[in-house]
Structure 1
Amino acid sequence: MKTLLPLLALTLFFSCQNTAQTNTKQQAVINALPIEVDIENGLAKAYFASGCFWCVEAIYESVKGVKESISGYSGGHTKNPTYEASNTGRTGHAEAVEIIYDPKVVSFETLVDVYFASQNVTQVNGQGNDRGSQYRSIIFYQNDKQKQIILKKKEALAKKLSAKIAAEVYPFQKFWVAEDYHQDYEKKHPNHPYIQNVSIPRLNRFKSKMPEVLKDNH
């Protein structure tokens, strides 16, 4: 399902994703004004894309102050994206997560730190063997304050590593919830080969880097 593609298919995939990320519709998304999501019942929302959403969902749900993590799609120019459509690389969307969190417990700044600590920050258009524009790294901002937080952390990380950071920075527009079978995938399918060999190791690497932010039961 989420495996390394043969070289020919991979070449075609990159051709698709390059088109997806440079066409005029996609550029309009990148240049749009951000949409701010209201705080409801004391809970805020943040949006991130960082490879397979099965992995990212589980990572954020291990963080104190995060009430829920939802898998979906964001960053593209098409409406009502599906998993199959996203996988073509032509929608502009990336697999993303909606993080519902208590800002009194965990800050947006910390969520961005979690983001960078839980991925290969220099890999373009993918994480590990999951490659293509649908797996690219994007941090979404809802206002200028969030944008500046992201840019400063990205710049500091680039200097620290002496490397270019792959994460794109997009104004948030809309989050499309993924199909039901993608939600809580790691919890529901702990013995799935991808979960065993990719998701859990990635989660454990993150835990070792930021143990101070973990919930007590993690």
Structure 2
Amino acid sequence: MKNIISAIALTILFSCQNKAQNNQVQKVIDAKPVQVPIQNGKDRAYFASGCFWCVEAVYESIKGVDESISGYSGGHTNNPTYESSNTGRTGHAESVEIIYDPKIVSFETLVDAYFASQNPTQVNGQGPDNGSQYRSIIFYQNDEQKQIILKKKEALAKKLNANIAAEVYPFQKFWIAEDYHQNYEKLHPNNSYIRNVSIPRLKRFKANFPTELLKENH
């Protein structure tokens, strides 16, 4: 009898925890987007697409992108860390902040690069990296960006005849990751993950993206 009561209590506890977490996620999705102001003529965009080491390198190969910064976004907790986001309980995904010149590259092109640099049908991960912290999310700051994302996502779904995994979230806040994550691919070219996952992903992207949109010798 005690075992049955314990099992029921655990079931209720997990059900309550899941309901609370779902409520937190829904609040993030329903939030009003935050518009990041242009600074010194440079705009910012935010994407999550698996390991941020990979995504950072992809975007820095595109003309008009000044810098790509690794961090965390899309969650419901403050001050996430690499360790806490990896638990999957903060709601955050490994993300990148793209600092770009809108006179050279458009938000629309950055979204094209986003879909071209990943397996768009893989849920909760990219390649060997799996878990909600590696899920795909495109963040919008206004309705114009939201419509661009939704139209491109719909067109890709029709083209592939498949569900596109990328979630579409209103941007709230970007938390910069620990220093040792920044420019990781450039600083650690001999790291086994970089050699076996990041560099091949970057090469696949560059082979399939319009050459005129990519930086030379990058």
Specify the alignment match of 2:169 in structure 1: 170
**Residue 20 of structure 1: CA displacement?**
9.7
Change (3 A) 1:19 1:201: farther
> TM-score with structure 1 length normalisation?
0.90
**Residue 216 of structure 1: CA displacement?**
1.4
Count of residue correspondences: 202
C-alpha distance in 2 between matches for 1:132 and 1:20: 19
Change (3 A) 1:132 1:124: same
Specify the alignment match of 2:212 in structure 1: 212
Q: What pairs with 1:92-171 in structure 2 (closer than 5 Å)?
A: 92-171=91-170
Q: What SS does the aligned partner of 1:90 have? A: coil
C-alpha distance in 2 between matches for 1:150 and 1:174: 19
Specify the alignment match of 1:185 in structure 2: 184
Q: What SS does the aligned partner of 1:37 have? A: coil
Instruction: Show structure 1 runs of 4+ deviating over 3 A.
Output: 18-22
Q: What pairs with 1:2-151 in structure 2 (closer than 5 Å)?
A: 19=18, 23-151=22-150
C-alpha distance in 2 between matches for 1:21 and 1:148: 30
1:20–1:91 contact (8 Å) kept in structure 2: no
**Residue 212 of structure 1: CA displacement?**
2.6
C-alpha distance in 2 between matches for 1:42 and 1:49: 24
Q: What SS does the aligned partner of 1:23 have? A: helix
1:21–1:92 contact (8 Å) kept in structure 2: no
> TM-score with structure 2 length normalisation?
0.90
Residue type at the aligned position of 1:215: K
1:86–1:93 contact (8 Å) kept in structure 2: yes
- Structure 1: where are the runs of 5+ without partners? 1-14
Residue type at the aligned position of 2:27: A
Change (3 A) 1:22 1:159: farther
C-alpha distance in 2 between matches for 1:20 and 1:186: 38
**Residue 19 of structure 1: CA displacement?**
4.6
**Residue 24 of structure 1: CA displacement?**
1.2
Q: What SS does the aligned partner of 1:33 have? A: coil
C-alpha distance in 1 between matches for 2:89 and 2:161: 32
CA RMSD, aligned part only?
Answer: 1.6
**Residue 65 of structure 1: CA displacement?**
0.1
Change (3 A) 1:142 1:170: same
Change (3 A) 1:78 1:191: same
Specify the alignment match of 2:9 in structure 1: none
Q: 1:72-124 CA distances to partner (integer Å, 9 max, x unpaired)?
A: 00000000000000000000000000000000000000000000000000000
Over the matched positions of the two proteins, sequence identity in percent amounts to: 77
C-alpha distance in 2 between matches for 1:143 and 1:212: 28
Q: What SS does the aligned partner of 2:62 have? A: coil
C-alpha distance in 2 between matches for 1:37 and 1:152: 22
